[in-house]
Structure 1
C-alpha cells in the first residue's frame, strides 16, 4: 500500500491586548503570520507554540481554531524536480503570554501591527485570504481549498 503524502502545517494569529497582530517577515517571501510544519511525533498545539516562539520570540497560548485550509495544487519545488505534496494547514487564534520580539534564522523582521493595517503589509494572496478569514470569524470554522500555482485560486470556501 502507498500512503498519501501531505504536509501538515499550523499558523497563528497572535493578537495582543492592544489589538495588534504579530507579523513576521520571511527571507523567501513577505510578511506572514507565524507558523510552520508540524514535525514527526509532534502535536498541533505544541508545533504552533514552538513555531511562533522560533520565528518571533513570543510565547503564546492557543485559544481557538478558526480555519482549516488545503492547498491542493500540484507543482514542483524550487529544484524543478520534487513534487510538492498537498498541504493541510490549521489556523489558530493565540494570545501572547511572554517572550520578547526577536528575529530568527527564518525571519528578517517581526513586529506588532494594528489589526486594520495587516492587509496593507501582507502581499501573498493565500495569506491575505487566510487573514481575512480571521477578520470574518464569527465562531464557525472557515474551510478553504485553494491552489497557488500557476495563479492563486480559491476552489472552495465555506464555514463548517
Structure 2
C-alpha cells in the first residue's frame, strides 16, 4: 500500500484537487534523496506517488498550493535575500538552509529548515517564519481536511488552521 493512495478520502473534492499533480520517477526521487539525505521520507514518497503541480479545484481558481518538482533554496532562488534568517515578531528566523517544496497563490512559501531537523515551515512575504506542528504527510492530508484553509498543526486526530479552527479526521 502506498502512503498517499487514500488522500481522496479526506475531501469530497479530493480527486479534483489532486488531478493536476504529476509523479516523478523513482530515479528522480533517488537523485533527490542523495542530494538531501536527511529530508523527510514522507516528502519523497509523496513526490513519487503524487508528484508536483497545482492543488486546486478547477481551472478558473488560483491554486491552494503549488508543489515544485524538486526542492528550491529559499534564500537564493525564491526570496533573493537572507531575510528568512532574521528573527520575526513571533518566532526566530531559520536555523539552517531553507528548502522550499511549494507556495500558495499569495506567495506564502512552504518548506523545510535543514538546520532544525527538517522542520516544516511556512514563510510569509515579510520573510517571517511560522513553524508548523505537522509532518509533511499531515500537511498534505490537512490541506484536504481544512480546505480551503491551510493546516498549521495536528494532534490527537484533529487538525487546526491559522484561525485556530479545528477539523476532525474523516472516519
The answer to whether the superposition gives a TM-score over 0.5 is: no
Which structure has the highest strand share of the two? 1
Which structure has the highest helix share of the two? 2
Structure scoring higher RCO (CA < 8 A, sep ≥ 6) equals 1
Q: Which TM-score applies when normalising by structure 2?
A: 0.29
Q: Which TM-score applies when normalising by structure 1?
A: 0.31
